[in-house]
Homo-oligomer: A and B are copies of this chain.
Amino acid sequence: MGKKNIVILGMGTVGMGFVNTYLMNRETIEGKLGGPLDIRKVLVSSPGKKRPVDLPGDRYTGDFNDLNLEDADVVVELMGGVEPAFTYIKQAIERGCHVVSANKELMAKRGDELIRLADEKGVLLRYEASVGGGIPLINTITDGLASNRVIKMMGILNGTTNYILTRMTRDRISYEEALGQAKSLGFAEADPTADVEGFDAAYKLAILSRDAFGVVARPEEITRQGIKEISLEDIEYGLELGYKIKLLALGEKKKEHVELSVQPALISVDHPVASVNQEFNALFVEGNSLGEIMLYGKGAGGMPTGSAVMTDVMEILINGRKTIGSCKEKKMPIKNIGLSPYYVRMEVLDSPGVLGQIAMIFGEQGISLDSVVQRAKGSEVAPLVFITHDVKRECLDRALEEIEAREYVLKIQSILKVVR
Q: What residue of chain B has the Cβ atom nearest to residue A313's Cβ?
A: B147
Contact of A24 among B288, B313, B319, B324 (CB under 8 A): B288
Per-position binary interface string of chain A over residues 17-47, scored 1 when its CB falls under 8 Å from any chain B CB and 0 otherwise: 1001110110011011000000000000000
Residues of the B chain whose Cβ atoms lie less than 8 Å from the Cβ of A324 = 32, 314-315, 318-319
Tell me the residues in window 140-156 of chain A with beta carbons closer than 8 Å to chain B beta carbons: 140, 143-149
Q: Does A291 contact B (CB under 8 A)?
A: yes
Report how far A241 CA is from B310 CA in the complex, Å. 42
Could you list 5 A-B pairs, sorted by A, with CB under 8 Å? Answer: A136-B145, A143-B315, A145-B307, A272-B275, A287-B307
Q: Does A373 contact B (CB under 8 A)?
A: no
Most buried by B among A140, A289, A311, A328: A289
Q: Does A337 contact B (CB under 8 A)?
A: no
Report how far A22 CA is from B289 CA in the complex, Å. 9
Q: What residue of chain B has the Cβ atom nearest to residue A277's Cβ?
A: B270
Given contacts A292-B298, A294-B295, A319-B324, list 14 more A-B pairs with CB under 8 A: A21-B148, A25-B289, A134-B291, A136-B144, A140-B140, A145-B311, A148-B311, A272-B296, A275-B275, A287-B307, A289-B310, A291-B298, A293-B295, A318-B321
Residues of the B chain whose Cβ atoms lie less than 8 Å from the Cβ of A48 = none
Tell me the residues in window 294-323 of chain A with beta carbons closer than 8 Å to chain B beta carbons: 294-298, 301, 303-304, 306-308, 310-311, 313-315, 318-319, 321
| Minimal beta-carbon separation of A35 from chain B (angstroms) | 14
Residues of the B chain whose Cβ atoms lie less than 8 Å from the Cβ of A139 = 139-140, 143-144
Please tell me if the beta carbons of B290 and A297 are within 8 angstroms of each other in the complex: yes
Chain A residues engaging chain B, CB cutoff 8 angstroms: 17, 20-22, 24-25, 28-29, 31-32, 134-136, 139-140, 143-149, 272, 275-276, 287-298, 301, 303-304, 306-308, 310-311, 313-315, 318-319, 321, 324-325, 327-328
Report how far A126 CA is from B28 CA in the complex, Å. 22
Contact of A292 among B32, B272, B291, B297 (CB under 8 A): B297
Please tell me if the beta carbons of B291 and A147 are within 8 angstroms of each other in the complex: no
Most buried by B among A32, A147, A294: A147
Please tell me if the beta carbons of B310 and A147 are within 8 angstroms of each other in the complex: yes
